[in-house]
Amino acid sequence: MKYITLRTPQSMDECIYFTNRSIDDGEVTAWVYRKDCPKCKKAKMGKPVVKGKVKTRAEEYVCPACGYIEQKQEHEESLQLQAKYTCPYCGKEGESTAQYKRKNYKGVQSFVVACQHCKEIIPVTKKLKKIKGILGKIK
């Protein structure tokens, strides 16, 4: 398996999603970059802007350059979550990618990243969600 070095975002404007999580003795930093418009390839897709403010619960993503619209589900399924972590199981640092889709992991919706060393699953949960049975607790 070939691993590539991930580029950490310089600004939150580059990302659709960004988080830092501590899990026992490990930690995870995960992000999802905004993708280029598939039609004009000139700008990054984003949620629509209405009266100078981003519409937070929008059901579509819009290209600011050409106005191309893509439905939220279709758009988000084409994105990749990237993560840098210190594994809570083996203690080694690593990088991994996963599909940008929450999965049910031990009863909690979370993004699932696999450790490249010990192959254990590292869940990236929403804030304050605790998973039963993981090493201890999510801080």
Residues 61 and 107 in one domain: no
- With helix as H, strand as E and coil as C, how does 13-77 read? HHEEEEEEEEECCEEEEEEEECCECCCCCCCECECCEECCEECCCCCEEECCCCCCEEEHHHHHH
118 token code pair: 């010990």
Instruction: Let me know whether 66 and 30 are in one domain.
Output: no
Same structural domain, 45 and 18: no
- Same-domain pairing of 84 and 26: yes
The C-alpha angle 22, 100, 123, rounded to 5 degrees, equals: 30
Residues 4 and 44 both lie in one domain: no
Q: What's the pLDDT at 138?
A: 45
* 4-43 tens-digit pLDDT: 677 888 888 889 999 998 887 889 999 999 999 999 989 9
Query: Are 93 and 115 members of one domain?
Result: yes
Same domain, 41 and 98: no
Domain that holds residue 51: 36-78
Are both 31 and 48 inside the same structural domain? no
Instruction: Say yes or no: 19 and 71 in one domain.
Output: no
- pLDDT tens profile 59-99: 999 999 898 999 999 998 999 999 999 999 988 999 999 99
Predicted pLDDT of residue 134 = 53
Q: Are residues 69 and 91 in the same domain?
A: no
**Count of structural domains, the chain:** 2
